[in-house]
A and B are shown apart, each in its own frame.
Chain A
Amino acid sequence: MSTEKFSPGFSRIVKENAVLEKISGGHIFTEGPVWNGQENFLVWTDIIDDTIWKWIPGQGTSIIMRPSGKADGMTYDHQGRLLVAGWSSRTVWRWEHDGSTTVLASHVDGKKLNTPNDIVMKSDGVVYFTDPSNGIRNVGMECDDVQKYVDYEAVYRLDLADASLTLLVDDFINPNGLCFSPDESLLYINDTPRRHIRVFDVLPDGTIDAANGRLFAELFHDDHGSPDGMKVDVEGNVYCTGPGGVWVIDPQGNPLGRLLVPEDCANFGFGDPDYRTMYFTARTSVYRMRLEIAGLPTYPIP
């Protein structure tokens, strides 16, 4: 059994007998899966193996970047370029179509960032990313410089129009996954050690009402796993890695059920042309499962 229902509403998300299929194995620490809706392929990172992989349905996997600066979370911009939370490179960077890379952010107030972990782009092209410091500390994820400089673990807004970096919130122990509600009025951010998801109102200027963050959900369970990757579907249900796999939570914060993954799942992404397949990056493997509902596409919308 690859699903577990907590609430009847879960039946609208996934069939009870949905099958989890492994599409790639032999990795070390997979992360950052994102579907390319223009050309219909999946890319993901392996942090410790220092690689970005590409998987074309029916064709298989290939390495598209190595070393990758031990890159972590990724998303696409409107032009179909990968935006990368660089983790061990301690930057946020963009992979240009000509194969070069452009650093988009590396310092805040003159100090080196921690280790950008996950990244999301708002429809207006503005980038939001989390910057915990555990990339400095984790075994096998070292940077050239493992000194932490900023006093906090923050979430930032990065306006690429003028390269301005704005600190949004800094009271997380380890801010990790983040995603917008479908109408982009809400920003969800999870805090791994606290095992919770908080939700913030997005203000007209693109910042968030940090003082008015609300506890959205807590993911406690005997199974191993913590909040990490997080996405929403077209109806605003929130998907978040947690104990045992990926938890599905309705917009009111009620857990509907779990998609069970046999390895620690760090992240996932919606894919296939209809965005009704979930791709899970779980340590040594990448898995997929068909859903009954579409995820919110990553840009560019085909």
Chain B
Amino acid sequence: MNWEYELVAGPYGSPTDGPVWDGEALLFTSLPLPANTINNRILRYDPQTGAVTDFRKWTNRVVGLAFSADGILYGCQSGARRVVRFNRDGSTSPLAYRVDGKFHNQPKDLAVDQQGRIWFTDPVWGPPVQGGLRNHELEPYSIDYRAALRMETPNKDAPLRRMTYDTVAPLALALSPEEDVLYVAESSEEPAGKRELRAYPINSDGSLGDYALLHAFGADYRGAHRGISGMCLDTAGNIVAAAGSERSGPGPMIYVFSPTGQVLETQPVPAEPTNCAFGGLNLDDLYVTTTEGHLYRVANTDRQGHALPSAAGPAAGE
């Protein structure tokens, strides 16, 4: 069955990302260009009315979004290299941003587990950080690796723990429904780099075991195939992943992988997809964001999303 992509918002001419269903509407992030544009926003698409409204302004290049089990929204504020909490009173709290005393990189994607721990990818990603110390000046104060990290509690003084030791471009992550596997997309943009979907078992002590390679993206005469930049799960635990581009390979695509890595489905997307998330009251609509700033909805995936936490109550975040 070919998926039908309905354009429900945008295109905004610059990337959209971070789709997350809040229980009634879809939140997503808008990242204007150039990168020093301060009017970054979280937008809210209400499928009941079709309206797109500002949920938060001046978000400083927040990319990935996720709710915790208690309905609080968290975001990866790549512009300031930290994870933030969007409080219901409209304020925004920065959370711990140092690992062993050093600044981490640029959070891109995150998931909050049932214990309230925040798992996030921490690549060097996108345009250089603007303002204050320049990137090379920050180096002495910064970690020298690119990993998936975990914040043990969602606050400013929380310990941050390095979770992966074999990643250089971890862009996207997702937890399995049982929270016993961490899926990580290693998505290097370097021709010689790796573009892989990996499954790391989560050990009983909270550490990660050796990963299983579920899928490796290839290369062709035009170049390396763009790896996964965002993903979500369906109720069967299958991984629905945004990858590919017009530049090489099979093109902009949503892949559906089984938990063992079998490709169950490939669905071409009308534009380069950045991320995807299930939404709708039955979690059976797939929302897709793109590099050009579209928000697409696919109503006929014949899949239902694995239920992630959403906002607890209609006024969440405002």
Contacts and interface: CB of A to CB of B under 8 A. Distances in A.
Given A133-B58, A139-B138, A145 B131 contact: no
Interface in B177-218: none
A49 B313 CA distance: 40
Contact of A138 (B84, B90, B132): B132
A146 interface: yes
Contacts of A136: 58, 60, 80
A147 B40 CA distance: 12
Contacts of A28: 133, 141
B103 to A, nearest CB: 6
Contacts of A142: 80, 82, 94, 97
B94 A140 contact: no
A214 interface: no
B57 interface: yes
A146 B93 contact: yes
B82 A137 contact: no
Given A142-B94, A144-B93, A137 B60 contact: yes
Interface string A135-155: 011111111111110000000
B79 A137 contact: yes
B137 interface: yes
A29 interface: yes
B58 A148 contact: yes
Contact of A137 (B38, B93, B133, B141): B38
B84 A146 contact: yes
Interface residues of B, number: 28
A146 B94 contact: yes
B81 A139 contact: yes
B286 interface: no
A29 B133 CA distance: 8
- Judged by DSSP, the binding face of A is loop
B141 A193 contact: no
Contacts of B36: 193
B115 interface: no
A139 to B, nearest CB: 5
Interface of A: 28-29, 48, 133-134, 136-148, 193, 264, 283
For the complex of A and B, 3 pairs with smallest distance between CB atoms: A138-B132, A147-B92, A148-B58
B57 A148 contact: yes
20 contacts: A28-B133, A28-B141, A133-B58, A136-B58, A137-B38, A137-B60, A138-B80, A139-B80, A139-B103, A139-B138, A142-B80, A142-B94, A142-B97, A146-B77, A146-B92, A147-B56, A147-B92, A148-B38, A148-B58, A283-B137
A29 B132 contact: yes
B92 A145 contact: yes
B94 A139 contact: no
Nearest to A144: B93
B94 to A, nearest CB: 4
B301 to A, nearest CB: 36
Give the residue among A133, A141, A143, A147 with the most B Cβ atoms within 10 A. A147
Contacts of B141: 28, 48, 140
Given A133-B58, A136-B60, A141 B93 contact: no
B114 interface: no
A144 B85 CA distance: 11
Contacts of B58: 133, 136, 147-148
Which of A28, A133, A142, A283 neighbours the largest number of chain B CB atoms within 10 Å of its CB? A142
Contacts of A143: 94
A139 B129 contact: yes
Contact of A139 (B57, B91, B132): B132
Contacts of A141: 132
Contact of A146 (B80, B130, B134): B80
Contacts of B132: 29, 134, 137-141
Contacts of A48: 133, 141
B108 to A, nearest CB: 15
